[in-house]
Amino acid sequence: MHGLFGSKQNHRSISKALAKDLNTPVYALDLRNHGDSPHVKRHDYLSMASDVTHFINSHNLESPILVGHSMGAKTAMAVALQHPSLVSRIIVVDNAPVEAGLASSFPRYIQAMRKIEDSKLTKQAEADEILENYGGEKSLAVRQFLLTNLTRTHGSNVLRWRVPVQVLQNALDNMGGFPFHPDKERFEKPALFVRGTMSHYVPDETIPIIGRFFPLFRMKDIESGHWVISEKPHDFKDAVIEFMTPDE
């Protein structure tokens, strides 16, 4: 499960690699309001967890392992805490079960995306320029990631966003929240927390609360920023395989 503004395409390569190395099916999902999934006004972790639970049940998946990055990480945690009997273990990538504000870059991205939408552009290079100058994103890799959401209107050259920008703007506060309490919900099965050492989303002070929600958790640090899987795919794959390999 991908993060905000992402899609199932983000993790295509790592999904194929894990399917091969672990000899197991891997399902990459588009969460609601992303990729090819439907657009709906409600966008929060309880609704996304309900979507994922429906997917698990409708595909008759037995004891799946949930893997999620960022927004997808909190969604994975939400499913595990709501339906612990449904899930065998979880892998949480660079997020923690706490209420914490999103990086200040996300509201800037939204503003730039709104400007791009209103400008009725026909060239992706023009959209990239707005993201860099108006949105303040100097990283080409991050801009290219955001621009994967651009598509063309049917029968027109005008570029539009694949994601509902206004809905996601309204949901930014929800994305920083976490609607569970460790005295009420707990997942007492294996959990791997992978964090980027140069990211701020899983500071050391969150470790005690992680342990209250997920008493059997392990922590793995990878030298990267927030985009752990795309920045260090081999290190991430090794961490997952180690976690999945039974102890002698």
The answer for residues whose C-beta is within 8 angstroms of residue 202's C-beta and 6 or more apart is 94, 95, 96, 193, 195
E strand segments, the chain: 65-69, 89-93, 150-152, 159-161, 191-196, 217-222
Residue 70 bears catalytic tag: yes
Query: Are 191 and 93 contacting, i.e. CB atoms less than 8 angstroms apart?
Result: no
**Catalytic residue selected from 47, 70, 224, 230:** 70
User: How many Å apart are CA 248 and CA 245, to the nearest integer?
Assistant: 9
User: How many Å apart are CA 80 and CA 187, to the nearest integer?
Assistant: 6
What's the sign of the alpha-carbon dihedral 60, 64, 69, 74? positive
**What three-state secondary structure class fits 221?**
strand
Residue 13 bears catalytic tag: no
User: How many Å apart are CA 23 and CA 189, to the nearest integer?
Assistant: 22
Which residues does the annotation mark as catalytic? 70, 226
